[in-house]
Amino acid sequence: MEMSKKYWKGIDELKQTPEFIKHKDQEFPNQQSVEDFLADENLAESSTARRDFLKFLGFSVAAATLAACEAPVTKVVPYAVKPENVTPGMPTWYASTYYDGSSYASIMVKTREGRPIFIKGNKDFGFTKGGTNPQIIASVLGLYDSARLTQPLYKGSKTTWGAVDDGIKEALKNAGKVTLLSNTVISPSIKRAIAEMAAQFNGEGESKFEHIQYDAISYAGMREANLLNFGARIIPSYDFSKAKTIVSVGADFLSTWLLPTEFAVQYGATRNPEGEWMSKHFQFESVLSVTGSNADVRSMIKPSEEAAVLAYMIKAVQGKAATGGSWKAAADKAVAALKKSKKSSLVVAGSNHIGVQQLANELNNILGAYGSTIDLSNTIELHQSEDAKALKLAANVAAGKGPDVLIMMGVNPVYSLPNGAAFAKGLKSIKTSVAISSFEDETASNCTYVCPDHHQLENWTDHQAKAGEYAIGQPTIRPLHNTASALESLLVWNGAANRGGQDSAVAYDYIKATFAAMNPTGDFNYLTHNSCTTLPVVPAVLTFTAAAVKDLPKSADTEVVFYQKAAIGNGQFANNPWLQEMPDPVTKVTWDNYITMNPVEMEGKYATTYDQEHGLNLATVTVNGKSVTLPVYPLPGQAPKTIGIALGYGRGANGENIGKAAFQTKEYGGHAQTEDGKLTPIGANVFGMLSTGATLLYSAAAKVTDANGTYPIAATQIHHTVMGRDSIVRETTLSIFKEREKDAYNEAHKLQKLDKHGKHVEAPVSEFDLWAAHPVEKIGHRWGISIDLSSCIGCGSCLIACQSENNVPVVGKDEVRRGREMHWLRIDRYFASDEEAAVGTKADKETFSYDAAEIPALNPSVVHMPLMCHHCNHAPCETVCPVAATTHSNEGLNQMAYNRCIGTRYCANNCPYKVRRFNWFNYPSYKKFTEVNPAQDDLGRMVLNPDVTVRTRGVMEKCSLCVQRIQATKLVAKKEARVIADGEFATACSDACPTNAIVVGDWNDLKSMIREKSEGVRAYQALEEVGVKPNVWYQVKVRNEDNSLLDHIQVAEQAHH
Amino acid sequence: MQKEAAIREPLILGHKTYHDVTEDVCRPIEDKAPKMWYILFGIALVIGLYGVGSILYLLGTGIGVWGLNKTIGWAWDITNFVWWVGIGHAGTLISAVLLLFRQKWRMAINRSAEAMTIFAVFMAGTFPLIHMGRLWVGYWVMPIPNQFGSLWVNFNSPLLWDVFAISTYLSVSLVFWYIGLIPDFATIRDRAKKPLAKKMYGILSFGWSGRAKHWNRFELVSLVLAGLATPLVFSVHSIVSFDFATSVIPGWHTTIFPPYFVAGAVFSGFAMVQTLLLIMRKAMGLEAYIHTKHVEYMNIVIMVTGSIVGTAYITELFISWYSGVEYESYAFINRATGPYWWAYWSMMTCNVISPQLMWIRRLRRSLLFTFFISIVVNIGMWFERYVIIVTSIHRDYVPAAWSMHFPSHIDIAVYIGTIGLFFVFFLLFARYFPVLALNEVKTILKGSGQSYKESPDYHKHH
């Protein structure tokens, strides 16, 4: 942009006349100064008559009154001095690392004017390769949670860090026994600090100090099994990207098991049917999980059958005779595939039972997976829970025999231990109990001292999630409150450092020193730029040794599985309204946990359908003498004679202040309260039902009895099948896809028309047009989206990213129940029915029954279909708006002018995809949403993206294709005087997708990925025959399965045309 | 004077003189209102105010107080709108179309039918206003010059056509009705004794003196307005039907809609006229003017339009199957057998079967039966709109978005409230306005009056 031209105000300036120079600095020439004016002697002579005076008085009163009616003054604080690297309006990105005790990922944090507002996966650095999950993306909201502790507490009242430190140091000095109970520590610096602490206490061969790692969700079974089989208590790295056959026995590795941020990315890479090969995925499980919903072959088993399935496969793979159960057919298919792929196979088991994990190890060993898909050297350092030790400590504390000082860091044992209540009682008898926690939660509220940790985004941290990678988390904002890094607290109590206050460099210096010791040649600045660096991995020399498998789980008539939901996980984010309102990827239920049961088993006993007014029946589940009453949810694919209940609910059962959104709200706003005046938690806590063997076990024998009453359920989807409609979801098998032409599995929709001779001929939909065509091709940009149904796993990351990017309001359970969630992007989940050969393909057109098609199959195949505004080129919403509030941009976007919208909702009615969302209430201020919508909270509001308007009531909104990002991308390119490169523009959803299922770009860029995708053989447009000409393409779902019925139909279909 | 066959049933029964007509119409206005009127007015007012209160709550809180959701953006609001507009069809049809066709029997009913039309259109007009998310900027639908830049309305939108159609219809109906009222107001004015009444009716009658010139102009204006109003009878509901017909939603996107909606509107309008007049003729002692013959004529209209509606339903059903379009056929299968089957079958029973009973002479001349059927038809026609609107969008293209609609108590309150308000207006009309076009009725007294027809010189004179 050339700016060298000079402009003159007038000819005087050009010629620089003396007159001009004289008045140059005066804005108003010939201005009379106030002094001159007041000095005018005639002024004193003027008189104000009574009438004039009254007129002035009247005017002044009226003016003052009017002025008082003005809107309240809102203050804007400008930068007096512009901070370095901060330009208002321009985001600053920081590479950082996320770790919360269970999820781990390398991330990028977007900050605006110093506020972190968005998190995405780091695709350039770190072994997670851009993988994230909903919790990681939503964690930015946690920073602004107004329930976070703002300063340390002593016996429940606020105190200073000085007092806390003195008290704890004193207690430590006098203590006979000190125990540090923490979640898995993967920070080399914290480990070093703990080691220093231990060395100080255990100086002379004493064992005064003990460090126990304990996670709510334990993987101790894996570590113990590996100890037995390999002699090391490790968890190896798994590489799903190399696995041609994946067999998962109860492991939800795409969403909640072990390291889903890495596994989802790897798995996604193997799900490309156009690639050299496509993995074949077998899943044996009880509760239909996200992973199970993506499986090529899924078999329903009871949790007690996991060992039998693995044992059967061990024998069958070796060609030995074996007997199998109801799952035999699937197991045989798996065995055949495993035999073929041999060492390119991967078997994972989700159980925390040592024996089951041993069997999985054995099978992997037979297949030769070690050294191929499993890497024993680059071990996973997450999930180090030592169940036996932790349970022993818990028992001791409960019995009043706890240590003198108990420091709890990043754990919430009162909530998550099976004997949490007893533990809480015992905790009070401990002399000094310390909780390093951000909230006064179940555990912290029972502790002597509560030392609030920084939020991750305020903190310097370091991580070694895998042996071969050192990663760093850097602060992206100055600490909001008077909190302190956990690392600093440990160092201070150990006498190794002094408090550094809010701008403390203690942790920073210590981490720098740790890094220098670990990586002497490493550059710390370079590390903070990338957020991570590789470390040399010593090749492990571990060989498999068979060990006796003991105490395999016993079967029971009805077995319960305690599982984690994608959004809520182990419950630590129960106060995050984005996550509470995220529909479960499989059930689509929000804000609750429930008992999952196969609808076939529920028939005649419990309601199998539900809607706004009709809730689900309640039932009581009794496990080990403990009972819980929850609604029974009809989940197809749930193994018969099993039920599932999600962990992570029922937080804050005693009304602990863990955040507004963690509690139930009433229909007209405000928190619901129990009879004794406490806040009502959401769902029920079932951690208390876990069995404790050698490890914590997540399945048990259960008894289900009917309870009276029904319970309203808030689901975003109440119809579960696609009703045999073939232009919404398209699915085929890998063999058809490889062997047949496009016609077989992705036939373009054709309509009849008359040709020149008056004869009926078939022509593609694109030839029919009611309107004069919008110019599309080769004119400027034309933004489009391609969504690959084969690689979409339905994890929900895109949905949360969209909510975060676009200030999508949270509306609470009551509104979701009424069908009014505001998500701009939804993920439709379809179950196949018995009437369909696959989702969207009628098994037999002649006998097809709509009634039967409404009922999902016993163990249905599942398709996840992300759906947002299709930005139709012939948008039906645009023509019907009476005030032209929604119009088409010349870049192909369907735009909403919120200011112009009068809210007739005609556009939403006329949208074939039903993606428009109406502001039924004033979400940013109406009392009903105070507890749930972050925009109503002074602190929560900080998370709002300043580039996106917060919508008022009565207007329509919908996906904008992240138009603010398009504009930003265009600006950058324009300043650099170049065209936008392909891949430069990404929407929030495409940024968040761990499997790269969502591709966005400029369709008019002929070499772009989106253009290529849109022209591929798998590309189709949903509801193409409606003729709305969307800018969204889907890629046909290809399942690597044997589905002879589908094959037969598609071959016949092709022959027909 | 109109010549009429002697065998035709007389339109005015009994031995009425011109003075009797004036007396019959004016006495209720001049006398004290009966106790029953106060009771009914009180009830209607309470219900109406409850409705107004609910509307205020709606406007203050948001559209969310209704039972709508992300899938179902219109339900009771637009159902009620179309229902009221439909009811508002009979008046203009009676006064305009029947005037052009010189149907003299309309004279006994046109005044109250037109009043009903206007009040119904008031009620109808409420719904498009209050269903807007932001009523306070609702004036943006008017193509008025503005300072928002070059913002203009979207002339492609059927909602905009609605704005013009409804407002035109309302204004023409109002003018037509008022013109007809002028000579009657003058009659009341001339009889009024109280100064206030005299003054008020004096203003309302615009200085009518009954001169031949006035009558001449009156006739001309009536004819011109009838000519103007006749196309409106067909256009209004055609345009209302465009709200649905121009969409892409299966069950809405139907070319049969305009005639089908017009027939349905006339059908429901006449039913409402029957409901009101059957009560009014008794309450106000107008049995001589509105009697079995009038009811029978109206029942024939109901029967004919009902048959058109029934044919339309069946045509729709056939076409949905014949089209071979997945979504279209499912939309109708779902109507008949889906979760809203009861609404569909209520509609079918009320609108298709009940008018067919009118083929039986005894039934169509039975006042009690007519009253019953008129209620049934209006229930049926409400369900028709509900079925069209809700059962089409609650399950359209994408099954994952399928939903159900449950009305909230505000939905119900607003609807019932408009019925209350409607009766408030109608009762005020019945109390203060001449409910019969008395001066027009006088013109047929000698041609169709019973006593004149039966007198021996009836044929001699003509």
Stretches where chain B sits below pLDDT 70 are 1-3, 149, 456-462
How would residue A540 be classed by pLDDT, with cut points 50, 70 and 90? confident
Q: How far apart are CA A165 and CA A769, in angstroms?
A: 75
Dihedral angle computed from the Cα positions of residues B79, B81, B87 and B91, in that order, rounded to the nearest 10 degrees: -160
Q: Tokens in use for A91? A: 């985001």
Q: Which pLDDT belongs to residue A693?
A: 81
Contacts of A666 (CB under 8 A, 6+ apart): A672, A814
Question: Does position A38 have pLDDT exceeding 90, yes or no?
Answer: no
Give the closest of B163, B249, B399 to A723, CB-based. Answer: B399
Question: Does position A801 have pLDDT exceeding 50, yes or no?
Answer: yes
Contact A639, A302 (CB under 8 A): yes
Q: Do B154 and A953 touch (CB under 8 A)?
A: no
The chain B residue lying nearest A728, using CA atoms, is B398
Q: Which pLDDT belongs to residue A37?
A: 63
Give the closest of A717, A900, A902 to B400, CB-based. Answer: A717
Task: Chain B: give the shortest CA distance to residue A830, in Å.
Answer: 7
Q: Tell me the domain boundaries of chain B.
A: 18-134+155-449
A765 shares contact with chain B (CB less than 8 Å): no
Q: How far apart are CA A281 and CA A773, in angstroms?
A: 45
| A209-223, A613-627, B99-113: the lowest-pLDDT one | B99-113
A395 burial level (CB within 10 Å; 0-12, 13-18, 19+): middle
How would residue A686 be classed by pLDDT, with cut points 50, 70 and 90? very high
Q: Which pLDDT belongs to residue B1?
A: 52
CB contacts < 8 A (A, B)? 181
Contact B377, B268 (CB under 8 A): yes
Q: Which pLDDT belongs to residue B16?
A: 81
Task: Chain A: give the shortest CA distance to residue B326, in Å.
Answer: 8
Please state, in angstroms and as integers, the Cα–Cα distance from residue A608 to each residue in A521, A598, A788, A856, B68, following that order: 63, 9, 31, 11, 24
Q: Which pLDDT belongs to residue B99?
A: 79
Q: What is the pLDDT of residues A456-472, one digit of tens each?
A: 999 999 999 999 999 99
| A35-49, A386-400, A624-638, A833-847: the lowest-pLDDT one | A35-49
Question: Does position A738 have pLDDT exceeding 80, yes or no?
Answer: yes
Give the closest of A819, A909, A918 to B133, CB-based. Answer: A918
Chain A contacts of B152, Cβ < 8 Å?
884
**Tokens 């349905």 sit on residue:** B264
Instruction: Please indicate whether residue A750 or residue B57 has the higher confidence score (pLDDT).
Output: B57
**Tokens 């708006």 sit on residue:** A881
Q: Which pLDDT belongs to residue B289?
A: 86
Q: Which pLDDT belongs to residue A642?
A: 95
Contacts of A179 (CB under 8 A, 6+ apart): A209, A210, A211, A212, A393, A402, A403, A405, A406, A407
Mutate to test the interface with A, among B65, B69, B323, B328 (most CBs of A within 10 A): B69
Mean pLDDT value across residues A608-613: 91
Chain A contacts of B128, Cβ < 8 Å?
904
How would residue A281 be classed by pLDDT, with cut points 50, 70 and 90? very high
Chain B contacts of A728, Cβ < 8 Å?
397-399
Which residues 473-532 on chain A approach chain B with CB closer than 8 angstroms?
none
| A17-31, A660-674, A748-762: the lowest-pLDDT one | A17-31
**Tokens 């009320």 sit on residue:** B350
- All structural domains of chain A, each given as residue ranges with its CATH number in brackets, are 153-217+385-534 (3.40.50.740), 239-379 (3.40.228.10), 559-715 (2.40.40.20), 731-1056 (3.30.70.20)
Question: Does position A489 have pLDDT exceeding 60, yes or no?
Answer: yes
Q: Do A902 and B132 touch (CB under 8 A)?
A: yes
A615 shares contact with chain B (CB less than 8 Å): no
Mutate to test the interface with B, among A909, A956, A959 (most CBs of B within 10 A): A909
Task: Chain B: give the shortest CA distance to residue A191, in Å.
Answer: 49
Give the closest of B133, B140, B247 to A876, CB-based. Answer: B247
The 3-state secondary structure of A749-814, one letter per residue: CEEEEECCCCCEEEEEHHHCCCCCCCCCCCCCCCEEEEEECCCCCCCCHHHHHHHHHCCCCCCHHH
Helix (H, G, I), strand (E, B) or coil at A845: coil
Q: Tokens in use for A760? A: 């009926």
Chain B contacts of A908, Cβ < 8 Å?
70, 73
Q: Do A922 and B393 touch (CB under 8 A)?
A: no
The chain B residue lying nearest A913, using CA atoms, is B398
How would residue A315 be classed by pLDDT, with cut points 50, 70 and 90? very high
* % of chain A residues with pLDDT over 90: 75
How would residue A369 be classed by pLDDT, with cut points 50, 70 and 90? very high
Q: How many CB atoms lie within 10 A of CB B209?
A: 10
Give the closest of A611, A719, A909 to B74, CB-based. Answer: A909
The 3-state secondary structure of B384-398, one letter per residue: HHHHHHHHHHCCCCC
Q: Which pLDDT belongs to residue A43?
A: 62
Q: Which pLDDT belongs to residue A704?
A: 95
A1026 shares contact with chain B (CB less than 8 Å): yes
Contact A786, A868 (CB under 8 A): no
Q: How far apart are CA A596 and CA A592, in angstroms?
A: 12
Task: Chain A: give the shortest CA distance to residue B240, in Å.
Answer: 13
Task: Chain B: give the shortest CA distance to residue A512, in Å.
Answer: 52
Q: Which pLDDT belongs to residue A717?
A: 94
Average model confidence (pLDDT) across chain A: 91
Q: Do B151 and A900 touch (CB under 8 A)?
A: yes
The chain A residue lying nearest B390, using CA atoms, is A909
Give the closest of A851, A903, A909 to B133, CB-based. Answer: A903
Q: Do B249 and A912 touch (CB under 8 A)?
A: yes
Q: What is the pLDDT of residues A903-939, one digit of tens each?
A: 999 999 999 999 999 999 999 999 999 999 999 999 9
Question: Does position A665 have pLDDT exceeding 70, yes or no?
Answer: yes
Chain B contacts of A819, Cβ < 8 Å?
69-72, 403
Task: Chain B: give the shortest CA distance to residue A916, in Å.
Answer: 7
Chain B contacts of A760, Cβ < 8 Å?
none
Q: Which phi and psi (to 5°) does residue A126 adopt? A: 95, 150
Give the closest of B61, B327, B404 to A921, CB-based. Answer: B61
Q: Do A954 and B74 touch (CB under 8 A)?
A: no
- Using alpha carbons, select from A383, A337, A325, A381 the residue that is nearest to residue A363: A337
Q: Which phi and psi (to 5°) does residue B276 adopt? A: -70, -45
Mean pLDDT value across residues A344-367: 94
Q: Do B398 and A882 touch (CB under 8 A)?
A: no
The chain B residue lying nearest A921, using CA atoms, is B62
Q: Do A1023 and B397 touch (CB under 8 A)?
A: yes
Q: Which pLDDT belongs to residue B462?
A: 46
Domain B18-134+155-449: top CATH class: mainly alpha
The chain B residue lying nearest A726, using CA atoms, is B326
Chain B contacts of A913, Cβ < 8 Å?
397-398, 401
Chain B contacts of A821, Cβ < 8 Å?
70
Q: Do B393 and A909 touch (CB under 8 A)?
A: yes
Q: Do B243 and A865 touch (CB under 8 A)?
A: no
Q: What is the pLDDT of residues A932-956, one digit of tens each?
A: 999 999 999 999 999 999 999 999 9
Q: Do A611 and B160 touch (CB under 8 A)?
A: no
Q: Do B141 and A883 touch (CB under 8 A)?
A: yes
How would residue A290 be classed by pLDDT, with cut points 50, 70 and 90? very high
How would residue A44 be classed by pLDDT, with cut points 50, 70 and 90? low
Task: Chain A: give the shortest CA distance to residue B174, in Å.
Answer: 26
